[in-house]
Structure formats: C-alpha cells, structure tokens
Amino acid sequence: MTALLEICTGSYDGVLTAARCGAARVELCSGLDEGGLTPSAGLIRSVCALEGIRKHVLIRPRGGDFLYTPEELRIMETDIRMAHELGADGVVVGALTADGDVDEEAAERLVEAAGGMSVTFHRAFDLCADPFAALESIIRLGFHRLLTSGRAATAEKGIPLLRQLVEQAAGRISVMPGCGVGPGNAALILRETGAREIHASARERMDSRMRYRLNDVTMGKNDSDEYSRLETSEEKVRGIVQSLAGL
C-alpha cells in the first residue's frame, strides 16, 4: 500500500525539514507542549508560500478541554476562514459536548467554515465517551480523516482499537494513527491497523545559538529552559519515510 506521512510542526524550519525529508503533509500549529494551538497568520502565510508539501492548519483557540463556548466557536470559524484565505490546504478541528460526545452542531459549523478545504477531526476523539458512535458522527459530518491514538497513551498501544476503527470506517474516512510514532514503529502501526496515513511530530531537542545566557530567569514554567527547544528532526523524519517505503 502507499503510505502517507504527516508531520506536526510549530515552526517554518520544521516545515522545511518535513518537505526536504519526504513527508507528504504538515499539520502546522503552535504550542505543541499544550497539545497544539492555532498558529499565527504570519507563519501560515509564510508556510503556504512553500511548494512541494501540503499544509493543514490546526484550529484550537486554547489548551485544556474541547468543550467550547459560543465565543470560542466564533473565533475558530474566523481562524478557519483566515487559514483558507492564506492558502492552507486543510484545517484540523474538533469539539466535544460536556458528556463526551462529538459536538455535532459545533463541528458542522467548523466544517462549513472550511469552505471545501480538507478537514481532519483531531485527537479530541481520544477523549470521547463512545469511540464507535463518535466515528459515525464524524463521518456523517463530512470529515475527511480522523487523527487518533486509539484512545491510548501512544498509537502503538492503541493498535487494537485503531484496527477496529479502520474496519468500521470501511473507506468512508481515513483513520490516521498519531502519538508516539517514530522510525521504529510507524510501519508496524500501519501494517497492524490497515491505516494508510500516519502522523508524527518527530522532534528532538535543539540547543540555542545564544552565547549570552541568564539561566535563573524563565519565561514559562519554573523549570523551563529558554536555551533549548524541541524541533522537527531530519533524522527521525527520514527514518519514518524510509520505514514506510517498505510497505
């Protein structure tokens, strides 16, 4: 089978790395340490000017749960239209009710705002109460793919449910495993589940180029390190691409 690799990244350089190493698509976001947030208009515009890779944009106005207020939904609709105008190929969205069901009214609004772009339902799915009912809702709403770890800590651990979801979907939607995916397990996950797309952040810690350093001042958490960051790894992306070539 032909396997497609999507790389989740929060930087322009990360997109360049993903494209150079053979990924087919990026999910562009910010705040990866919070599970991903909507990136800036400037980053979206710059990335969408690049050729050779498809660009999907995460639409998530804040961290935490996926139960959104009317005001937050209006913000998300605005951000979806912005991404469309800036040239994105697709958006990645999701919303749940307080009882853990797919919020069909909210999701319908988000799909409509996408105006024909490709639409992925993100890992809010992994916090839903009934994954099989949720999958049917997502298909009915017109989503093109579902990003999920199989409601497990990693996609590899979620293989049993992922396999069931692929079978239930029966080609009506693409089920895309994600979370904890790397060169050592990407091919295994696709073989065991029957999925045709896979999602990975493929990051490694990179040291800052700063020479002057003040180590007792932090910008976020008390233990945060302002002189290193997690960035898309060329070695990991190439490793995943190579592992998928044998499928």
The single-letter code of the amino acid at 243 is S
Q: In terms of C-beta distances under 8 Å and separation of at least 24 residues, what long-range contacts does 59-65 make, across chains too?
A: 59/83, 59/91, 59/92, 59/93, 59/110, 60/29, 60/35, 60/36, 60/93, 60/94, 60/122, 61/37, 62/37, 63/31, 63/34, 63/35, 63/37, 65/96, 65/127
Question: What whole-number distance in Å separates Cα of residue 68 and Cα of residue 29?
Answer: 19
DSSP 50-76: --SSEEEEE--SSSS-S---HHHHHHH
Phi, psi of 177 (to 5 degrees): -65, 145
| pLDDT at residue 106, as a whole number | 98
Q: What is the pLDDT along the chain (247 residues), one digit of tens a residue?
A: 689 999 999 999 999 999 999 999 999 999 998 899 999 999 999 999 999 999 999 999 999 999 999 999 999 999 999 999 999 999 999 999 999 999 999 999 999 999 999 999 999 999 999 999 999 999 999 999 999 999 999 999 999 999 999 999 999 999 999 999 999 999 999 999 999 999 999 999 999 898 988 888 878 777 778 887 899 999 999 999 999 998 8
* pTM of the predicted protein model: 0.94
| pLDDT at residue 71, as a whole number | 98
- Taking alpha carbons only, the member of 174, 178, 224 closest to residue 201 is 178
Phi, psi of 122 (to 5 degrees): -90, -165
| pLDDT at residue 1, as a whole number | 61
Longest CA–CA span in the chain (Å) reads: 56
Question: Would you mind telling me the total number of residues written for the chain in this entry?
Answer: 247
| pLDDT at residue 215, as a whole number | 83
Instruction: State the Cα torsion 189-180-162-21 to the nearest 10°.
Output: -50
Q: Quick check: 63 and 35 in contact, CB under 8 A?
A: yes
